[in-house]
Structure 1
Amino acid sequence: MSTETGFGTALRQLRTAQKTAKGVSLYSRYVNRPAGRVCAAAAYRVGLSPNQVTLLSAVCSFAGIAAIALVHPSWGLGVCVYLALAFGFALDSADGQLARLRGGGSPAGEWLDHVVDCAKIVALHSAVLISFHRFADLPGDGWLLLPLGFQAVAVLIFFGGLLTDKLRAPRTAGTAPPAPSTARSLALLPVDYGVFCAVFLLFGGAGLFRAAYALLFGCYALFLVAFLAKWFRELSSEPSPG
């Protein structure tokens, strides 16, 4: 497709080049992917590459993360952090969509995307820990362990899901992807990154933020146990190589 293609044409073509919605939460399905589609069409129109969009996503996300660690929490800061993280998340969806619009991605592009995602997860919870230590009047020092636990659980979910996808047998050519389940998409909302970003809207209320952050940590921990059991069961049924 020529880069002279208009924004509207690129947007229409992107609507027909979406990944399956199976295993995707309602937020990603109805908010983040459509927002990423608009970003991808705009990026295509101005001639950006998928890797450049990935780096823009990293800039937005890490600007928000730096603000968490360096600036005293307030309601206004929370809104700014949320917008930076949410826009970075939309761009994270846009890079893959842009790659498909341009005819396919590359191993290097996929590698860069995953490295940025992993760095973002580690840095985000580290920034919360720094903010707790620098600015919060915590009920007890035990609260400093919460971001460390959340970080470990989030990294395990990210890595475990990524590795499971790589080890699964590829779908037979011509086989239609399974239909998405609305109930499953709703159930996955607590562990959607976009929902996690929204927690920072409470950043100005110290107790409210800690409570919401702890609640999401509990959800992530429960889902980790369920995901690990599911992924191990699925891979145990895969045929052995060779």
Structure 2
Amino acid sequence: MKIPVIGVTPHFETDNNKICIASMYMEAILDAGGVPLLLPLKAGKEALAAAAKVCDGFLFTGGPDIDPFRFGEETIPECEVVNPERDEMEEILFELALSEKKPVLGICRGIQVLNVFLGGTLYQDIPAQFHGSLSLCHSQKSGRTVLSHSVEVDKDSLLYEILKKDTLMVNSFHHQGIKDLAPLLKTAATSKDGLIEAVYLKEHPFFLAVQWHPEHLFRVNEGAKKLFDAFIKAC
């Protein structure tokens, strides 16, 4: 049986000009039976297309803020570091994944860029711009495996199909989030203060993105493990 190769989007450290990735993304893919392949950051469409042919699926990882110009807004003071090169690289990769109908999993920044690429918008900073009925902590100070708040799972969603749960406890490390959902996307989970926490694309073989970080939870949380297992199985 062929082992799926998963293309992983890279993080870029501007201070030392280094491409890197948090090890837990790679470990979660390996644990589920896939082989992670870290993709190049500064690559054109032709080079990325060649890399994409090798991959059976793609993981859009966490990272810096998305350039607000990409969703038609001016930058507010609370917006943090952006990396336009990564935005451009990931959009090319996204278009390749969509056209070739290869499985896609987005995590944290991943849910945000996928929403923007399909025509949605973001809160540049949740504390400054989002005011729900509750005030939940979306950027927790506790450890990576600590669960911070709950999300309500839509029963018609791909996420429910995988987890078979109405409610899920998640960790949370983000200050941006989905404001206007892209027209083609469907909500898969929502926090109790009304923020969209997971989305999926029905017309795609496997297209799911979550705002939390299951890569830190897969060893201690059944739901997180099931998420990666389902993604790798789809690949």
Please, what TM-score do these two structures have when normalized by structure 2?
0.27
Q: Which has the larger radius of gyration?
A: 1
Task: Please state which structure has a larger fraction of its residues in strand.
Answer: 2
Please give the TM-score of this superposition, normalised by the length of structure 1: 0.26
